[in-house]
């Protein structure tokens, strides 16, 4: 069985994949979901979203348990045009709605808090609208023990 962190990452990927107009969202960024994408979005990948789980903060509890706060960054990309920032704002709303659908990720976590939301534009030959949502997924886990 995958560890709890991997289960949460899998749940995030699945939830983001459901962001489709056909499911009542504003955008179809669910068609282009990436985990830890390191290159810029290509034309065929936008609108899209990539996410990455970064360095967790771990606090030791009694009884071999740990309290974990896992930072997750969601980067949204949209193509250039007169409505670029409108698409970015709609995609931000979609990602927030997906997170708020169940901030426990199916009971794996006890909370997900939104830390920051930023929108900006990138000009690498062509304007691309971008946004970054930073969140913290909070959960408890058994302290890992190796045999």
Q: What is the pLDDT of residues 48-103, one digit of tens each?
A: 999 999 999 999 999 889 999 999 999 999 876 668 889 999 999 999 999 999 99
Taking the model in full, what pTM does it have? 0.91
- 23 Cα distance to chain centroid: 18
- How far, in whole angstroms, is CA 57 from its chain's centroid? 18
68-97 CB burial, b ≥16 within 10 A, e <16: bebebbbbbbbbeeeebeebbbbbbebbee
Length of the chain: 147
| CA–CA separation, 101 and 55 (whole Å) | 25
Q: What is the pLDDT of residues 94-130, one digit of tens each?
A: 999 999 999 999 999 999 999 999 998 877 666 678 9
Residue 72's H or E segment, with its range, is strand 65-78
């Amino acid at each position: 069985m995958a560890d709890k962190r991997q289960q949460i990452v899998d749940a995030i990927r699945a939830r983001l994949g459901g962001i489709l107009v056909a499911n009542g969202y504003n955008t179809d960024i669910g068609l282009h979901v990436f985990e830890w994408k390191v290159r810029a979005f290509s034309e065929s990948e936008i609108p899209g979203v990539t996410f990455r789980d970064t360095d967790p903060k771990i606090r030791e509890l009694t009884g071999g348990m740990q309290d974990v706060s896992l930072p997750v960054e969601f980067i949204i990309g949209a193509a250039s045009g007169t409505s670029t920032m409108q698409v970015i704002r709609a995609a931000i709303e979609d990602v927030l709605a997906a997170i708020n659908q169940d901030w426990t990720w199916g009971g794996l976590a006890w909370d997900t808090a939104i830390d920051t939301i930023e929108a900006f534009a990138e000009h690498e030959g062509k304007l691309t609208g971008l946004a970054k949502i930073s969140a913290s997924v909070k959960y408890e886990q058994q302290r890992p023990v190796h045999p």
